[in-house]
Amino acid sequence: MIKTLGIGDNVCDKYLHISTIYPGGNALNVAVFSGMLGARAAYLGTFGDDPVGKHVYEAAAKIGLDLSHCRFEHGDNGCARVQLVNGDRVFLTGNRGGVSREKPPVLTGMDEDYISGFDLVHTSVYSFLEPQLPVIRRAAGFVSMDFSNRTDEGYFRECCPYIDCAEISCGDQGETEIRAAMEKIMDYGCRHIVLATRGSKGAFVLVDGHFYEQSPFLVKARDTMGAGDAFIACFLTNYIDGIRDSADFGPDSGNKGITAAAEYKDCLIRLSLYRAAVFSSAQCQRDGSFGYGKQVERTEEDEKVMRKESV
């Protein structure tokens, strides 16, 4: 099985309606989910030295992630305020990443050597690591970046030349619009894959010019937090692990079954999408991104946000 590194953002998701925090964050989630699927998983990022940061760090450590290259800074850990509406998470005003935004890791030569040992390195638009992308690209064999719902072309032009796979969240956009956005991302320099998640409408993926669509495995959601990250982690973990077996059979091998690398790759993509749909639907039955909830006191600022923004 592959080795996966999530690099960048970690947060706690503070569920105001139940006064509970859950560890999360795109880069951390992808590492955790990849580990659940059998990968040797690690996370590299910045934790705050407050009780929230301590809880997120301890949860990641209990899960078994390698955290040996993480940083610790004085200040508030990233914290996102959340409300659930019919099982769907709605984000309210948070602290915009806390110390992860203020003091993201500046990667050293030791970090670069460390990164080079992973098959999949995943980061995100919320990681504030854009200046470090050349270092990550130089060290990593496969770089994935989640752009969420960010759409500005200048940002894509800045980041895409350094990545192999881009992920975008497309919500209620139509297929024509989504396909055009995916093709533009490839034009901006993304090398291999664009994955577009659409929540309860499924997903699209563009792999080396070939387009695929995957229906969702619909369930009644308990909590949709982390479902998109689960889809990304499952698809990439299965695809990167499997593509290493790709090979064309020799001319004397015959033509029964799958004998061409292109046929195998097509089957692998479809299987990886299927597994991702099933895995992400199971994520919708879990509280928070990956559990480890902890009761906390709501602050005055929490109460203010609830009064002003609650749906």
**CA-to-CA separations, 180 to 97, 152, 250, in angstroms, rounded:** 31, 14, 38
**Tens digits of per-residue pLDDT, 6-49?**
999 999 999 998 999 999 999 999 999 999 999 999 999 999 99
> Per-domain residue ranges for the chain?
3-309
Least confident piece of the model among 83-97, 100-114, 237-251: 83-97
CATH of span 3-309: 3.40.1190.20
Q: How far apart are CA 259 and CA 25, in angstroms?
A: 41
* Angstrom distance (rounded) from CA 147 to CA 203: 15
Both tokens assigned to 230: 């689960």
Which ranges in the chain belong to alpha helices (H)?
Answer: 26-36, 51-63, 99-102, 109-115, 133-139, 153-159, 175-187, 227-243, 261-283, 300-309
**pLDDT tens digit string along 67-100?**
999 999 999 999 999 987 777 778 889 999 999 9
pLDDT digits (tens, 9 = 90+) for 109-160: 999 999 999 999 999 999 999 999 999 999 999 999 999 999 999 999 999 9
Q: What is the per-residue pLDDT for 79?
A: 94
β partners of residue 23: 12
Q: What is the DSSP letter of 172?
A: T
Tokens 């203020």, located at residue: 102
